[in-house]
Amino acid sequence: MKKMIIYLFVIFGITYSFSPLFCIYHKIGDYNSEGRVVSLDIKDEIVILAKYNGLIEFIDVNNPEQPLLLGSCQVPGVVPGVQGKIIIADTLAYVLTQSDGIQIINISNPVEPQIIGSYDYNNVADIIISGNYAYIAGYDQLFVLDVTDI
């Protein structure tokens, strides 16, 4: 019994001495989006959430203890099921949807974001923006779009 107590103290002592390696993180704030979030991205202290129902929300996280909703927009005609991908490039957000391909949102004013265009591709699985081009993974193809003049 004494050996067991000694072992416990030794294990506790070793664990305590290495405790900086086993950090515990604490939640400092939260925002209830009241719906399933499928994707997010961040730009300039604004988190952009894509929700399952097609609603895009813009959350100010300058004060991470109290995130604040700035604005939102609804992707038009979307069947519930935003594909789960949102990409931000400069002042534009690209959102993949199941029913309407890619929706492009002007996010220069996050209080009043505006949908400014769309690309109607079926079975879009992923998108990457690099420079002036969007690379889109379709069902069995790679599409390359020039996005300099939306």
Give, as one character, the DSSP assignment of residue 45: T
**52-70 confidence digits (pLDDT tens):** 888 889 999 999 999 999 9
CATH of 28-146, one of 2.130.10.10, 3.40.120.10, 3.40.309.10, 1.10.10.10: 2.130.10.10
Would you say how long the chain is, in residues?
150
Please give the average per-residue pLDDT across 17-34, as a whole number: 72
Question: Looking at this protein, which amino acid is placed at residue 103?
Answer: Q
Question: What is the rounded CA–CA span in Å between residue 127 and residue 119?
Answer: 12
CB 104 within 8 Å of CB 98? no
Question: Looking at this protein, which amino acid is placed at residue 27?
Answer: K
Question: What is the rounded CA–CA span in Å between residue 143 and residue 121?
Answer: 9
**105-143 confidence digits (pLDDT tens):** 899 998 999 989 888 776 777 888 898 898 988 778 888
Question: What is the rounded CA–CA span in Å between residue 136 and residue 85?
Answer: 12
Q: For residue 31, what pLDDT band results from cuts at 50, 70 and 90?
A: confident
**67-98 confidence digits (pLDDT tens):** 999 999 888 766 665 566 788 888 888 888 77
